[in-house]
Every structure is written in structure tokens, then in C-alpha cells.
Amino acid sequence: MTAAPSRNPFAVLARHREYRIFWTGQTASLVGTWMQSMAQGWLALQLSDSALVVGLVAAMNAMPMLLFSFHAGALVDRGDRLAIVTWAQRIFLLEATALWLLTWSGLITVPLLLVLAAVHGACATVEIPARQSFVYELVGRDDLQPAIALNSSGFNLARVVGPAIGGVVIAKLGLAWCFGINAVSYGFVLFGLHTIAKERVAAAHHTFEFAVQAIARTVRDAVHASNASAIEGLRYLLRPGLVRDLLGVVTVGAIFGGPVIPLMPVFARERLGLGAGGYGTLLSAIGIGGVIGALLLAGPLSQARRGRLLTVAAIAYPTLLFALSLSRVTWVALAVLPFVGMMLIVFNSLANSMLQLLVADEYRGRLMALYGLIIIGLSQSVGALTAGAMARAFGVQWAVGGGAVVVLGYAAVTLRRRPELRRS
């Protein structure tokens, strides 16, 4: 008999020990990741004094995902997801270390920053679908939604803590040490992944050599069939139906609403007159709202109608973005941003879980690859680059407000045309 859903947002951690280890390590590591993300945006603005370059750095981070996400999904569907995630985290550690040393030594330039962003993006192209699919392996179908919501809470808790610490680190030690602390933080997630591997019977001999051989076999198999697999998956996911329409709303929201975060250093400096510390406070405000939204989804709202909540979030998020675009003083922005973060996480978490439950198991890796392509690839390449150009030409408020209007219009039309999305 299936246990009744719990209103405790942390109940899924108590039920699944491996997921608890995974979530704890990931959340600790994400604190460093958000410090790096904050510092990287500010560094790009310092090096170039250009909103367009800030958008270009975000675009380079997303370009590999734009080009290779479906092949990455095919790799994930055929491979050892634990091994893939582990090796990806090791590469992230090396990339953060390089960024730390180059910035600390004064050798960092815009071209080097773009190259390192592309390296990070190439690794994330494989790591994101592997990690999101791995959550399903850890908790199963029944606990998938609260696990995804709790992942979002960890992500946003890190978004609160990371920039707050980052602002202090920048003021006391300098930008470079945000990257150095991030490099150290990858040790937490690698320790958790190593613990999970040791506890699995199938991974009893998961030594360095075994992992290399497993990855090599995975790569050979995936390269051999990746094109056919990618096309097959794309046809399945984009055939007429709820999956395609929901992906459409996610796509428009990511391209036109997602770039608000890459543009936040520009918004902080040019619209509100803030420095690096104020920029970190704005990111923390988004994160506070995200934590609240994720915990509500994992607990009190876990039994609510998903379609109804999705509808509210899909309309509220762009409305709040438009209100943000009109703000010219810091306290107004700080009042709006927590609600922006809350609605963003509610929408993305619900869309993620609904999509995973709608597709067949054998397509889950390719779905998550496409989802990552949309949320990160399109948002940070097409979206951030376009928004950065628009911010440079017309002002950052027009980039944020104009995108919000497009998202609101598309979501309203789709939800009106697809009442089954609202009722699901």
C-alpha cells in the first residue's frame, strides 16, 4: 500500500538515504557555484563595461548545450548516470580552479572568460540530464515531484547564501576568491557521489579504472547510435499533444523571461546604481523567494492540483517581471524579486515533474536533455544575447519588460487553448 503524501517538505530525504547524501552534497556545492556565477557576471562587466559582453559570456556557457544536448541525452539514456555525473563534477572543479588562478594572477581576459564559459557549458550539457535523470533512480516515480521541488529548494538556498557570501568575499578578498571557494566546494558533491557508489552492489568495484572503462564503452555506444536516437527522441517529444505545448510555454519563458538573471549585474549597476554587494543582495532576494516556493511545493502544496498551480505561476511570473522592469529604486526591486524567484521555481519545478510523468521511461534522458537545452541553452544563448543587445541599445528595463510581455501573452494563449493543462 502506497504511503500518503507527506506535507513535510523534507520527508523525501528521510525515506531515501542515497538521495539525502546526493542532495546534501549538491546543495553545499551549489553555494560555491552561485558565488562563481555572481562573480563571473560582475567580472565580465568589469572587463568590458558592456551589457552585450555580459550576455555573450552567458551565451558561450549555453552554446554547447544548444548544439549537442540531444546527443548528450542519448549518452545519458545508455550510460551509467552516476559515473557521468561524477566525472562532470571533476571537470567543473578543474574549470573553477583555472578561473580562480587566472583572475587572481590578473591574466584573465574577455576571450579567456568566454573559453572557460564554453568549457563549463560543454560539461553541463551532459551533466544536467544525467543528474536530473539520476534523481528518478534515487527516489522512484512516487517521490519524484517532492524530490524535484527539494532540489529546487537546495538550488535556491544556495542562490541566497552564495551571493551573500560572494559579496563579502569580493569586498574582503577580491573576485578571484569566489572562484577559488567554488573549486573547493566541488569536494562536497564528489564525496557524496563516492559514498553512493561505494554503497551500491553494482558499484562495489567502481574504481578509477572501472569508471574510465564504463565511460569509454558508453561513449562508443552513444556515438554509434546518437544521431538516430536524437531524431527519434525529438519526434516523440514534439508530436502534437500536452508535452509539446507545455514545452512551448517553457521555451518562450526561458528565452524571453529567463535572461533577467544574466542581466542582473547590468540592472543592478545601471538601473539601481548598485555595486557588487548590492548585486549579490538582488540575487539573494530571488533565491529567498525560490526557497519558499520550492519548500511549499515539496510540502504543503505537494497534494495540490499541479495544473492549477502551473497556471498561476505561468501568469504571475511575467507580470512580476514587468513590475520589476519599472522599478528605479532598490527597495522596490527587493520587494518584487522574492516573488519573481518564487513563481519561477514553482513553474519550472511543476513543468519538470509533469513532463517527466508524461513521457515514457526510455525517453526520460532525452527529455531532460531537451529541457536543459531550453532552460539553459536557449535561455542563456538566444535569450541572454538578444536581451544583452537590447539592453545595450535601449536600456535594461526595456529588455526585461519587453520579454515579460511576450511571455505573458504566449502563456495566456496556450493555457486558454489547452484547458487540460490547467486541469491536470
* Residue range 200-226, pLDDT digits in tens: 654 444 444 444 544 455 555 545 555
Cβ partners under 8 Å of residue 67, min gap 6: none
Q: Cell digits for 367?
A: 527529455
Q: Cell digits for 227?
A: 544521431
Cβ partners under 8 Å of residue 328, min gap 6: 271, 272
Pick the CATH number of 11-423 from 3.90.1150.10, 1.20.1250.20, 3.30.420.40, 2.40.10.120: 1.20.1250.20
Please tell me the distance from the alpha carbon of residue 193 to that of residue 190, in angstroms, as a whole number: 5
Residues 42-67, mean pLDDT to the nearest whole number: 79
Angle at alpha carbon of residue 319, lines to 402 and 259, rounded to 5°:
50
Nearest to 74 by CA among 202, 229, 180: 229
Whether the full predicted model's pTM is greater than 0.75, yes or no, is no
- pLDDT at residue 6 greater than cutoff 60: no
pLDDT at residue 51, rounded to an integer = 74
pLDDT at residue 206, rounded to an integer = 44
pLDDT at residue 199, rounded to an integer = 61
Nearest to 422 by CA among 202, 249, 230, 302: 249
Residue 132 and residue 371 in contact, taking contact as beta carbons nearer than 8 Å? yes
pLDDT at residue 7, rounded to an integer = 58
- pLDDT at residue 66 greater than cutoff 60: yes
pLDDT at residue 393, rounded to an integer = 82
- pLDDT at residue 344 greater than cutoff 70: yes
72-83 pLDDT, tens digit per residue, is 766 776 667 788
Residues 138-165, mean pLDDT to the nearest whole number: 70
Average pLDDT of every residue of the chain: 78
Residue 57 and residue 114 in contact, taking contact as beta carbons nearer than 8 Å? yes
Angle at alpha carbon of residue 281, lines to 250 and 92, rounded to 5°:
60
Please tell me the distance from the alpha carbon of residue 194 to that of residue 86, in angstroms, as a whole number: 8
Angle at alpha carbon of residue 366, lines to 241 and 377, rounded to 5°:
95
Q: Cell digits for 324?
A: 520589476
Nearest to 382 by CA among 66, 50, 45, 117: 66
State the CB neighbour count (10 A cutoff) for residue 94: 13
Please tell me the distance from the alpha carbon of residue 358 to that of residue 70, in angstroms, as a whole number: 19
Please tell me the distance from the alpha carbon of residue 327 to that of residue 346, in angstroms, as a whole number: 23
Q: Cell digits for 178?
A: 569566489
State the CB neighbour count (10 A cutoff) for residue 122: 20
pLDDT at residue 227, rounded to an integer = 61
- Listing DSSP states for 260-325 in one string gives GTTTHHHIIIIIS---HHHHHHHHHHHHHHHHHHHHHHHTTTTTS-HHHHHHHHHHHHHHHHHHHH
**Residue ranges of the alpha helices (H) in 327-395?**
330-358, 364-372, 384-394
The percent of residues above 90 in pLDDT, for the chain, comes to: 12
State the CB neighbour count (10 A cutoff) for residue 46: 12
Residue 19 and residue 138 in contact, taking contact as beta carbons nearer than 8 Å? yes
CA max distance for the chain: 62
Please tell me the distance from the alpha carbon of residue 418 to that of residue 414, in angstroms, as a whole number: 6
- pLDDT at residue 140 greater than cutoff 80: no
Residues 136-151, mean pLDDT to the nearest whole number: 72
